[in-house]
Every structure is written in C-alpha cells, then in structure tokens.
Structure 1
Amino acid sequence: MKNILTLLLFIVSIHCSAQDQKDEVMAVINQVFEAMRTNDSTLLKQSFTDNPNTFTAYINQEGKSILATGDFQRFVNAVGQPKEQVWNEPIWNEKVEIDGNLAQVWVDYAFYIDDQFSHCGVDAFHLINQDGAWKIFHLVDTRRRSDCVIPDDID
C-alpha cells in the first residue's frame, strides 16, 4: 500500500510540474499579446531571445504558397509606436508541448484593430528555456481574411 501511495504522489508531482511549465510558457505567449495591446515594446522584447526568427506563411492572390521572412525590429518598432487604435489578438485552442528546455506552442488567433476584424490564422512559437526563463526564438504565423472560425466568446 505504501508503494502505491508513493507512486501516486510521484505521478501527481510530475503532472503538476508539467502543468507549471506549460503555464510558464503560456505566460510568455500571453505577454506578447499584452505588449501588442498596450504598445509596450519593452515588454514585447522581454518575451524573445536577442535575435529571433519570424516568418509569415500565406497564400497570395495567385494561389501561390509564400513564406515571408519577418523583421523582428520592425515588429518591435510597430508595437511601440504610439497609436490611438488597440491591436488585439485573442487566442484559443492552445497546444503546448515541452521537452527539456524546448517548447512549442500552436494557437489559433484573430487579429483586430480596435473592434474591427483584420485577419485570422495560427501562431506557431518555439521557445527555449535559458537560465530558468522561457524565451521565444522562432515565430511563424499564417494569415487569412476568410474561412475564419472564431469562437463566439472571442472579441
């Protein structure tokens, strides 16, 4: 009986530890969207490694698949620009996978400028845990203006 209780406690502690790590990873992801909403480029940069790779995958008007390389500093500058509109990117269907110091996160999103819908897609993040802190080193998103299935509770 004692061995079974020890085993159960061990399993529970592993599960709790894994959930804690997933919560830590998602806190970094959510920080990106908070930075976008509040025009806080400092908060945004804190979420990323020094030289992250960013990309956008989309289908152009001719139906060709495109992978466009992003410019992280341009993104930082755009987020930090004072603006009257709020950039809001609610997310849902979060999928977090972790192995050691590597994590990946896949989320559906819709992007709004104030209350005006702009586009939707998927954000795919890769993060590294260095010195006890998760940081994004790779981000690719998809973008489309149609075929968006956005949950009713997403504003």
Structure 2
Amino acid sequence: MKTIKLILLILLITIQQSHAQCTTANKKEISTLINTYIKSVIEKDSTAFYNLFNDGPVTWCAALKDGSQAKEIERKGAKNAGSNYFSGSYKGFFRSLFSYKTTEDKFDNIQIIEDGTVASVTLDYSFWADNKMTNWGNKYLGLIKRDGKWKITSVIYSLELIEYFKQPALKERQKLTVPGATQ
C-alpha cells in the first residue's frame, strides 16, 4: 500500500510540474507574440503583423470612453461627434499606420490567462504617432492555440483621446488589475 501511495504521489508531482512548465511555456509564447506585435507596428512590417492573426474573421472593435465622447459632443455637437463605437480590421489598422512617419503601440500592465488552448490577454496601451501619444486605454486580446501556434482572434479596446485626458501613471492603473491573473 505504501508503494502505491508513493507512486501516486510521484505521479501527481510529475503532472503538476509538467503543467507548470507548459503554462510557463505558453505565457512565454504569448509574450513573444505581444513583442512581435509591438515591433511590427514600429517597423510597419505587414508580414510579421498579419501572421499574428487567425485565418478567417477576426473581431476588431473599440469604443470611445465616456469622457472623450462627452468632450467630442461638446466640441463638435451631437450630430457631428458620431458614435462612440467603431469596428474595423487588423489589416485596416495596419494600413492606417502609413499615415504617419512613426508609430508605436506601447503596452504595460499585461495580464495573461491561458489554459493551453485559449488565452485572454488584458493590457493597458498607449498609441503614439509621429512621437506623440494620440490615445490610450485598455486592450483585450482573445487568442487560440492553432496548429501549435498562438493566434489573435479578437482585439477589443477602449479609447481615451489624449487631447482631453492624460493617461494615469502605471501605479494608478495597476490598482485596477484583475485578481488572479498573472503577468
């Protein structure tokens, strides 16, 4: 009986270590994907950027935060301010980068939750064009592990316009971090 208990204990420890190693490997792969995203926006490398996304439909949408929407209505009037929501595509986003000499999507406060097959990444972002921050907010990436590689299936984000509201310091934003998520 002691031998069986010992074997079961060793098996359980082995399974736990294997799961921990797999989780660590997946988080490293997802972190690499995020770094590739950042680098491809800076370098305007469409091949690297497009390769991050799943084949088929990919959700790409955003909503202007209430504060910026209110300021837009105040400035332009309700009819001209437009909706606070828009959708597009990752290809459309990428093509828009060429309107600027330089672009960068900066990420911090990154949280990754994954089970080896699907993942959710939440992060704070700030978008920079021609060396000036234009907007900031929260970004949520949905991912699947397809044929052994992580692919983005959705990008949903909030948008605050820097002309109205400055991005709070990282320390302030970290107070809103999701409990149980890991960086």
**Same fold, judged at TM 0.5 (above):** yes
Count residues with an aligned counterpart: 150
Q: Distance in 1 between matches of 2:169 and 2:105?
A: 12
Say which one has the larger Rg. Answer: 2
Alignment match, 1:104: 120
Alignment match, 2:90: 72
Pick aligned residue for 1:126 from 142, 151, 154: 142
Runs of 4 or more, structure 1, over 6 Å off, are none
Q: Distance in 2 between matches of 1:65 and 1:15?
A: 45
Query: For 1:84, what is the secondary structure of its paired residue?
Result: coil
TM norm structure 2: 0.70
Alignment match, 2:21: 16
- Which structure has the highest helix share of the two? 2
Q: Deviations over 1:4-51 (max 9, x none)?
A: 555444323321211111111222122111110001111110000133
Alignment match, 2:37: 32
Q: Distance in 2 between matches of 1:66 and 1:7?
A: 51
Q: Distance in 1 between matches of 2:49 and 2:73?
A: 34
TM norm structure 1: 0.81
Aligned-residue CA RMSD in angstroms? Answer: 2.6
Moved more, 129-138 or 9-18: 9-18
Contact 1:39 1:82 survives alignment (8 Å): no
Q: Distance in 2 between matches of 1:77 and 1:127?
A: 22
Alignment match, 2:59: 53
Over the matched positions of the two proteins, sequence identity in percent amounts to 21
Pick aligned residue for 1:84 from 101, 111, 123: 101
Pick aligned residue for 1:149 from 164, 168, 171: 168
Change (3 A) 1:94 1:116: same
Post-superposition offset of 1:88: 1.6
Query: For 2:54, what is the secondary structure of its paired residue?
Result: strand
Contact 1:25 1:134 survives alignment (8 Å): yes
Q: Distance in 2 between matches of 1:111 and 1:92?
A: 12
Moved more, 117-126 or 60-69: 60-69
